[in-house]
């Protein structure tokens, strides 16, 4: 067939079926055409390109094509690494975790350390786990397991011994050593400096293993319909493996790195962060950027470390240390550091969970806005669990993106057993104010915090819309006035994260946009909200190239095989 003069090259892909181009004023259309990695036509114009396209895909009835999902807060490298150790994630009892650790240790006699993640901290009362339980499975080699909050470590006695932690070891400044009644270290370490006592002893992982972890993470993302991820915790030694993965084609998703600012040495980190950003710009290709700095403002409520305006409800002596949690940064220091990195042109990404943590994060952004010249800074506060009502409107006023992990907005055991008892009913009802922030003028983005929780965006979207557990509780939804519409939730998982990523061209599927696409088995807008998570991803494209395709029989072809993805090659600019 003779190509038409205005279309010298045929489309690489034409999709015929329902296409969601965006929300509200961006209507659905009947077809979408891709060429050179970008959307080139919609509707009748795209249909006209079907006859000459390299591939034409006809969606089934009820199926939907939309912008690929994106994850505004996750830890791909940690997620990939969980694959290598004992598979303790999702196990439902201490006995099961211990048995798996014992099985894995026996299978790997060559490993000096048994390192794994991530167990459920709700399996033991108050999240306090005893070293002796692990000693039963592995008495002679050190074992260190991260809880799925990644702020807690459970060790056996040999790991405590190698770290030099004894009854005489004082609690470090940031963190504490959980003790038995006799004062001896129990085996649970909370927060930064306590965990580091053991983590600093672990043998370093090789670059090859880290690159393989990123390849595994990419496979998981592609299967779940994701093409962009914010890595929200990057240490210097992680940058080389990312560059290597990008260089060799092992990286099959777009990723922005957030380098972690340390409260004790952030001034020294500034030149190093700028140098790392430059290196990633120069060597990272089209998929990698490093434009963000991460601040851990506080801890987590279930660990009693999130920073609270009023003391925790279960504190017996209100004046006791940590009765209002454990801010990682003093508010003034956070404001000073955020202002400095903002002046260096970095996007701010602050972990804030307690109401005092959220307020300190907003104050820090406000200090940067007030001090530095105006620029397109798009600051992010992530998790946003407990917000004092007085602070809600500040998000919109300051242009702060509220990044939620929507799967957390449900009354699961983490809430009923570890959270509500710690903060009481009044404050519990203020958690995850998604609708309040969205309708008060703030931009929302969604994330998963994977491997803290599932990376599947459809599970988060279902929860944001229903505010119910997967089992359906409570029937009317938990704090139902904070539920989002399906369209709002889809936007938060696509356009909202694109905005966070400074990728305005990915906010809508219109001609010129990169063809980052996901093909769903059902339209979430037409699905029973309690069944959204059962919708299947049938295909994922990154810049027009498939990174995942489910076959009719349910099998998939290799997401990262060189001919399927080959992401080392050039992408459209």
- Which residues of this protein are in contact with Zn ion, per CB under 5 A? 232, 449
Nearest distance in Å: CB 78, Zn ion: 9
Per DSSP, the three-state class of 281 is: helix
State the Cα–Cα distance between residues 517 and 507, nearest whole angstrom: 12
State the Cα–Cα distance between residues 343 and 519, nearest whole angstrom: 41
Nearer to Zn ion, 449 or 523 (CB): 449
DSSP state at residue 310? S
State the Cα–Cα distance between residues 537 and 493, nearest whole angstrom: 15
Q: Are 93 and 100 in contact (CB under 8 A)?
A: no
Question: Which contiguous run of DSSP H or E holds residue 358?
Answer: helix 355-371
Nearer to Zn ion, 232 or 261 (CB): 232
State the Cα–Cα distance between residues 427 and 450, nearest whole angstrom: 26
Helix/strand/coil (H, E, C) string of 130-189? CHHHHHCCCCCCCEEEEECCCCEEEECHHHHHHCCCCCCCCCCCCCEEEECCCCCEEEEE
Nearer to Zn ion, 232 or 564 (CB): 232
Nearer to Zn ion, 329 or 548 (CB): 329
Residues ≥6 apart with Cβ < 8 Å to 343:
368, 371, 372
Nearer to Zn ion, 295 or 341 (CB): 295
Q: Which residue is nearest to Zn ion (CB)?
A: 449
Nearest distance in Å: CB 150, Zn ion: 7
Nearest distance in Å: CB 108, Zn ion: 28
List beta partners, residue 366. none
If you write DSSP's letter for every residue of 1-37 in order, what string do you get?
-PPPTT-SS--SEEEEEEEE--STTS-EEEEEEEETT
Burial of residue 219 (number of CB atoms within 10 Å: 0-12, 13-18, 19+): buried
List beta partners, residue 34. 13, 39
Q: Are 41 and 509 in contact (CB under 8 A)?
A: no
If you write DSSP's letter for every residue of 373-430 in order, what string do you get?
PP-----EEEE--B--GGGHHHHHHHT-EEEE-GGGSS--HIIIIIIHHHHHHHHHTT
Nearer to Zn ion, 380 or 492 (CB): 380
Question: Which contiguous run of DSSP H or E holds residue 39?
Answer: strand 38-42
Nearest distance in Å: CB 447, Zn ion: 8
Nearer to Zn ion, 358 or 483 (CB): 358
Nearer to Zn ion, 77 or 559 (CB): 77
Nearest distance in Å: CB 174, Zn ion: 17
Q: Are 211 and 442 in contact (CB under 8 A)?
A: no
Nearest distance in Å: CB 7, Zn ion: 45
Nearest distance in Å: CB 143, Zn ion: 24
Q: Are 36 and 515 in contact (CB under 8 A)?
A: no
Nearer to Zn ion, 395 or 450 (CB): 450
Question: Which contiguous run of DSSP H or E holds residue 72?
Answer: strand 69-74
Asked, as a colleague might, if the bond just before 118 is cis with ω within 30 of 0, I would say yes
Angle at 453 between CA 449 and CA 458, to 5 degrees: 90
State the Cα–Cα distance between residues 68 and 225, nearest whole angstrom: 6
Nearer to Zn ion, 296 or 395 (CB): 296
DSSP H stretches of helix in 473-563: 486-493, 495-500
Nearest distance in Å: CB 208, Zn ion: 25
Nearest distance in Å: CB 232, Zn ion: 5
Nearer to Zn ion, 219 or 449 (CB): 449
Nearer to Zn ion, 35 or 73 (CB): 73
Nearest distance in Å: CB 260, Zn ion: 11
Nearest distance in Å: CB 510, Zn ion: 32
Nearer to Zn ion, 137 or 232 (CB): 232
**How, if at all, do strands 28-35 and 13-20 pair?**
antiparallel
Nearest distance in Å: CB 234, Zn ion: 11
Nearest distance in Å: CB 233, Zn ion: 6
């Amino acid at each position: 067939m003779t190509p038409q003069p205005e279309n010298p090259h045929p489309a690489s892909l034409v999709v015929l079926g329902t296409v969601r181009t965006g929300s509200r004023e961006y209507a659905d259309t009947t077809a979408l055409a891709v060429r050179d990695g970008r959307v080139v036509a919609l509707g009748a114009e795209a249909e006209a390109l079907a006859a000459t396209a390299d591939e034409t895909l006809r969606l089934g009835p009820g199926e939907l094509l939309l912008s690929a999902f994106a994850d505004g807060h996750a830890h791909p490298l940690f997620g990939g690494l969980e694959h290598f150790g004992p598979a303790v994630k999702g196990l439902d009892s201490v006995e099961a975790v211990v048995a798996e650790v014992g099985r894995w240790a026996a299978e790997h006699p060559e490993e000096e350390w048994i390192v794994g993640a991530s167990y459920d901290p709700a399996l033991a009362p108050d999240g306090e786990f005893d070293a002796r339980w692990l000693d039963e499975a592995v008495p002679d080699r050190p074992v260190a397991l991260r809880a799925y909050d990644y702020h807690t470590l459970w060790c056996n006695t040999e790991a405590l011994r190698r770290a030099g932690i004894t009854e005489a070891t004082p609690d470090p400044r940031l963190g504490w050593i959980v003790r038995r009644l006799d004062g001896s270290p129990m085996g649970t370490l909370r927060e930064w400096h306590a965990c580091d006592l053991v983590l600093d002893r672990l043998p370093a992982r090789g670059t090859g293993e880290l690159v393989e972890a990123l390849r595994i993470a990419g496979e998981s993302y592609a299967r779940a319909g994701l093409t962009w991820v914010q890595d929200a915790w990057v240490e210097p030694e992680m940058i080389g493996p990312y560059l290597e993965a990008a260089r060799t084609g092992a990286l099959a998703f777009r990723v922005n790195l957030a380098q972690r600012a340390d409260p004790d040495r952030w001034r020294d980190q500034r030149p190093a962060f700028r140098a790392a950003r430059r290196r990633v710009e120069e060597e990272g290709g089209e998929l990698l950027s490093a434009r963000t700095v991460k601040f851990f403002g506080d801890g987590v409520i279930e660990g009693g470390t999130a920073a609270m305006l009023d003391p925790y409800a279960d504190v017996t002596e209100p004046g006791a240390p940590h009765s209002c949690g454990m801010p990682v940064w003093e508010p003034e220091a956070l404001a000073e550091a955020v202002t400095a990195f903002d002046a260096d042109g970095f996007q701010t990404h602050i972990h804030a969970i307690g109401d005092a943590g959220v307020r300190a994060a907003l104050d820090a952004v406000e200090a940067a806005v007030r001090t530095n010249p105006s620029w397109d800074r798009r600051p992010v506060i992530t998790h946003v669990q407990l917000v004092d009502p007085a602070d809600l409107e500040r998000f919109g006023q300051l242009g702060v993106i509220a990044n939620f992990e929507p799967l957390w907005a449900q009354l699961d055991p983490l809430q009923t057993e570890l959270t509500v008892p710690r903060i009481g009913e009044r404050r519990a009802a203020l958690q995850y104010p998604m609708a309040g922030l969205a309708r008060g003028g703030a931009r929302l983005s969604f994330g998963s915090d994977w491997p803290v929780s599932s990376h599947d965006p459809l599970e988060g979207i279902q929860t944001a819309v229903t505010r119910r557990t997967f089992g359906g509780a409570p029937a009317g939804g938990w704090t139902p006035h904070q539920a989002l519409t399906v369209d709002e939730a889809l936007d938060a998982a696509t356009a909202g994260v694109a905005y966070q990523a400074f990728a305005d061209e990915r906010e809508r599927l219109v001609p010129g946009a990169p063809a980052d696409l996901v093909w769903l088995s059902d339209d979430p807008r037409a699905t029973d909200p309690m069944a959204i998570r059962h919708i299947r991803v049938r295909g994922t494209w990154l810049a027009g190239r498939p990174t995942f395709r489910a076959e009719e029989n349910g099998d998939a072809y290799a997401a990262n095989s060189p001919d399927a993805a080959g992401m080392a090659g050039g992408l459209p600019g």
